[in-house]
A and B are shown apart, each in its own frame.
Chain A
Amino acid sequence: MSFFTKIIILFISFQAFAKSNIQDVALGYMNSLDSHNKEELRKYVSKDLYIKLNKNDLIDRYFKKRSKKKRKYKVKITDSKLVKGFVLVRLTDEKGETQSLKLVKNKQGEYKVQEILHLD
């Protein structure tokens, strides 16, 4: 295997690792909503978003409306080439309802959900 081939394989593996990390965070976020688990949710969202979710008891009110059950999601990741650090994840559940999340890397290099986007 030539040196360049090794570099390419290393690069592809790194990309794949990064993508799976993004997917894990997005799915972790959705699963914590499905299981009504606030502590779990804290792990996947940025500090700012967590504060917003707790303001006016938003997350508690939301849990009251959202049935507590596990769902399966199809995941589509857009790791932007144009806007640095902007990762958009779209998760579609069995009913076809889609959630769009903006993920960014924090100082520790971990991806966190920073915003819930409504793309209309």
Chain B
Amino acid sequence: MITIFISLGAFSMNASDTCKSLLGFIHKELTVDNFEKSVDRMNKKMVLALISAANESDKLGVKLSKDPELLSLLESMKHIDPNLESFLLENQNFRSYNFWKWLPFIKEPHRVSYQEVVHKWKDLQVKRPYLFKNLEDKHALDEWDTKTAQLLDSYPTDSSLGESADKTARLFKNAHQELVDDSLTDSKQLIIHLKKNIEELHKEVEKSAKDLLLQSLDDYKYVCSSKDLGPKFHQLACGTQENLRPVLDATLKDISDILDHDYLYSHANPPSSGGRIKIRDYDYKNINHAASYCKRNPNVVDTVVIHHSETQNTASPQLIHNIQVVAHEDSVDKNGKASPWYMIAYNYVVSAEYEGEGKELPKVYRGRPKDMKGAHAGGYVDIDKMNPEAKKALFNSSPSCGLNTDKDPSHIIDVQDYRAQRTYQKNLNKGIASANLTSVGVLVIGNYAPDIVNNALNPTGYPSDGPPRFPSTDALRSSAKLICQLRRDEHPNLTKITDHNYIKIKRNYEKGKRYAGTYCPGTVYLKMQKLYELTKEECPEFDFTLDISPKETVCPFLRKL
């Protein structure tokens, strides 16, 4: 800020006066882009601060419920929305306050504005630096943020912008309450809500401030060039005053540095969470308890297999579970014995938007528990080519298979099925193991194949005569984070990343035999390299190898792309 004002001071008083006014306007009155960016900047900083505080308090075991600043914030939020009172009464601190508020030394909380929320955050950052030690200096709330909040407050609450600002402020309060209650998992959920709300607020900011800017820029339209005004307002630009060029350039650069939108965006994903992603538990209905399944030592897993669901990307894990359970309800194995599936085939499910669709954050759900063998890969792997540690675990711990006859939700085997164990032993003697035993299946929900594929209809696919559909970078990044997390927490010997097609055809292909692959995971196959790079970026401390289908083994539609 100081630099900008110094730069502004460098303008001469005559010719540059109008331009100075314009720049002054950009700073002081906040224009469309700046107002929008400022609100975004301020909110992002508060989210970052919240993430940092949540993580630090978790590490330190600090009971934030004893924090008077937070209680005060919580209390004042009640005045933003009186309907929150019943909700707040669930909070112990708030209940205590309610009980003791008649005492003369307990101050009556006053109505808080967005500006006050920012102010309280700023205060908290000064008074409790240990909670925010992961934040860079540029992420600390400053005067500019106070101004932004002040402008937001100037919009009446009955305007759509005012309403949206209020809503966001309330969410910040809820997030604080999560901190107060020490329920940090929920606070992460709130952060996601918060980000959604911030997006809505932005749309309102853009809408409301546009008129203000157009009206004001009209007064200065003969001052700056189209370059200064940007492509958005090109039509308003006229001649350029060459002598002002360097000063103008420097000042505009300062503004863009301060309002470094992209930088803040890129850091808006929890930086202090160490690339973690929340794996949501999912309560699957219609589990087939007549089906047997196998439990394994999680250390035998050395490969992650990527799939797509060939459904709409809005399909729920339950829907995919239903399809798979029904499809195998009457299945029989090679020997004619019943071979139904217990539940969804995959261990993890990633639900995300397609590339270019929107900004909703991907969600990761648990499929089969980590110690349950999947039913997703098909085929076998050569034991000699396995990760040595995983191989050791494979020989030292045989899987146990059987039925969950009492239908308990923790999937404990009640009746053993020794047939499956014998098969496992036979395979070991042959030097092979079931690919399902040594891998985890990650399903990316969506249809990444064309709408006509292998002479069959695939109505949820992308038009075969149009551009292909790809997973979003967010979906890939979430999958990468998941892989890192699996390696870190659940499967320490996980070292290979592969696609479903390859796991199915691999052994035959390598022996020069005929192979019958699958077109799963569709165009996700073409993003496997990117997934690998993102995984390396997310957890550089681990070594992974990418082992994907050779191009000649994939479906014709993929070979053409």
Residues of A within 8 A of B (CB): 33, 49, 52-53, 55-56, 58-59, 61-62, 65-66, 76, 78, 80-83, 86, 88, 97, 99-100, 102, 116-120
Contact with A along B439-481 (1 / 0, CB 8 A): 0000000000101110111111001111000000000000000
> Of B104-112, B320-328, B358-366, which stretch is located at the interface?
B320-328
Chain B residues whose C-beta falls within 8 Å of the C-beta of A100 in the assembled complex: 327
B329 is an interface residue with CB less than 8 A from chain A: yes
Are A117 and B464 in touch, CB under 8 angstroms? Answer: no
A97-B455 Cα distance, complex, nearest whole Å: 10
One of B286, B325, B452, B458 near A65 (C-beta < 8 A): B452
Chain A residues whose C-beta falls within 8 Å of the C-beta of B204 in the assembled complex: none
| Given known contacts A49-B459, A58-B459, A120-B518, A80 and B452 CB-to-CB distance under 8 angstroms | no
Chain B residues whose C-beta falls within 8 Å of the C-beta of A88 in the assembled complex: 326-327
Are B457 and A80 in touch, CB under 8 angstroms? Answer: no
Near A by CB (< 8 A), chain B positions 123-175 give none
A30-B187 Cα distance, complex, nearest whole Å: 52
Q: Which of A62, A100, A120 is most buried by chain B, counting CB atoms within 10 A of its CB? A: A120
Chain B residues whose C-beta falls within 8 Å of the C-beta of A102 in the assembled complex: 323
| Closest A residue by C-beta to B465 | A61
Chain A residues whose C-beta falls within 8 Å of the C-beta of B329 in the assembled complex: 78, 80-82
Are B520 and A117 in touch, CB under 8 angstroms? Answer: no
| Closest A residue by C-beta to B500 | A120
Given contacts A82-B325, A97-B455, 8 further A-B pairs with CB under 8 A are: A61-B452, A65-B452, A78-B329, A80-B325, A82-B326, A117-B323, A118-B310, A118-B456
Helix, strand, loop or mixed for chain A's interface? mixed
Q: Which 5 residue pairs across A and B have the least CB separation, nearest first?
A: A52-B459, A118-B310, A56-B463, A80-B326, A82-B286
Chain B residues whose C-beta falls within 8 Å of the C-beta of A86 in the assembled complex: 322, 326
B543 is an interface residue with CB less than 8 A from chain A: no
One of A61, A78, A81 near B327 (C-beta < 8 A): A78
A61-B323 Cα distance, complex, nearest whole Å: 27
| Closest B residue by C-beta to A33 | B457
A41-B445 Cα distance, complex, nearest whole Å: 29
Chain A nearest CB, measured from B383 CB (Å): 26
Chain A residues whose C-beta falls within 8 Å of the C-beta of B463 in the assembled complex: 56, 58
Chain B residues whose C-beta falls within 8 Å of the C-beta of A52 in the assembled complex: 459-460
Near A by CB (< 8 A), chain B positions 415-459 give 449, 451-453, 455-459
B330 is an interface residue with CB less than 8 A from chain A: yes
Chain B residues whose C-beta falls within 8 Å of the C-beta of A82 in the assembled complex: 286, 288, 325-326, 329
Chain A residues whose C-beta falls within 8 Å of the C-beta of B518 in the assembled complex: 120
Number of interface residues of B (CB under 8 A): 29
| Closest A residue by C-beta to B309 | A118
| Given known contacts A65-B452, A83-B286, A53 and B326 CB-to-CB distance under 8 angstroms | no
Chain A residues whose C-beta falls within 8 Å of the C-beta of B288 in the assembled complex: 82
Chain B residues whose C-beta falls within 8 Å of the C-beta of A65 in the assembled complex: 452, 455
A109-B406 Cα distance, complex, nearest whole Å: 35
Chain A residues whose C-beta falls within 8 Å of the C-beta of B322 in the assembled complex: 83, 86
A83-B327 Cα distance, complex, nearest whole Å: 11
A61-B464 Cα distance, complex, nearest whole Å: 9
Near A by CB (< 8 A), chain B positions 308-337 give 310, 322-327, 329-330
| Closest B residue by C-beta to A58 | B451
Near A by CB (< 8 A), chain B positions 477-523 give 500, 518-520
Chain A nearest CB, measured from B521 CB (Å): 10
Chain A nearest CB, measured from B394 CB (Å): 26
Chain A residues whose C-beta falls within 8 Å of the C-beta of B466 in the assembled complex: 56
Chain B residues whose C-beta falls within 8 Å of the C-beta of A49 in the assembled complex: 459
A106-B452 Cα distance, complex, nearest whole Å: 27
| Given known contacts A61-B465, A83-B322, A116 and B286 CB-to-CB distance under 8 angstroms | no
A59-B458 Cα distance, complex, nearest whole Å: 10
Are B459 and A53 in touch, CB under 8 angstroms? Answer: yes
Contact with A along B267-285 (1 / 0, CB 8 A): 0000000000000000000
Are A62 and B460 in touch, CB under 8 angstroms? Answer: no
Can you list 23 pairs linking A and B with CB atoms under 8 Å apart? A49-B459, A52-B460, A53-B457, A53-B459, A56-B465, A58-B457, A59-B457, A61-B452, A62-B452, A78-B327, A82-B288, A82-B326, A83-B286, A83-B322, A83-B326, A86-B326, A100-B327, A102-B323, A116-B458, A118-B310, A118-B458, A119-B324, A119-B327
Chain A residues whose C-beta falls within 8 Å of the C-beta of B330 in the assembled complex: 76, 78
| Closest A residue by C-beta to B318 | A83
Chain B nearest CB, measured from A94 CB (Å): 14
Chain A residues whose C-beta falls within 8 Å of the C-beta of B451 in the assembled complex: 56, 58
Are B464 and A116 in touch, CB under 8 angstroms? Answer: no
Chain B nearest CB, measured from A84 CB (Å): 9
Chain B residues whose C-beta falls within 8 Å of the C-beta of A83 in the assembled complex: 286, 322, 325-326
Chain B residues whose C-beta falls within 8 Å of the C-beta of A59 in the assembled complex: 457
A99-B458 Cα distance, complex, nearest whole Å: 11
Chain B residues whose C-beta falls within 8 Å of the C-beta of A119 in the assembled complex: 323-324, 327
A85-B465 Cα distance, complex, nearest whole Å: 35
| Closest B residue by C-beta to A102 | B323
Chain A nearest CB, measured from B501 CB (Å): 10
A62-B463 Cα distance, complex, nearest whole Å: 11
Chain A residues whose C-beta falls within 8 Å of the C-beta of B457 in the assembled complex: 33, 53, 58-59, 62, 116
Chain B residues whose C-beta falls within 8 Å of the C-beta of A56 in the assembled complex: 451, 463, 465-466
Chain B nearest CB, measured from A58 CB (Å): 5
A80-B321 Cα distance, complex, nearest whole Å: 13
| Closest B residue by C-beta to A76 | B330
Chain B residues whose C-beta falls within 8 Å of the C-beta of A61 in the assembled complex: 452, 464-465
A83-B460 Cα distance, complex, nearest whole Å: 22
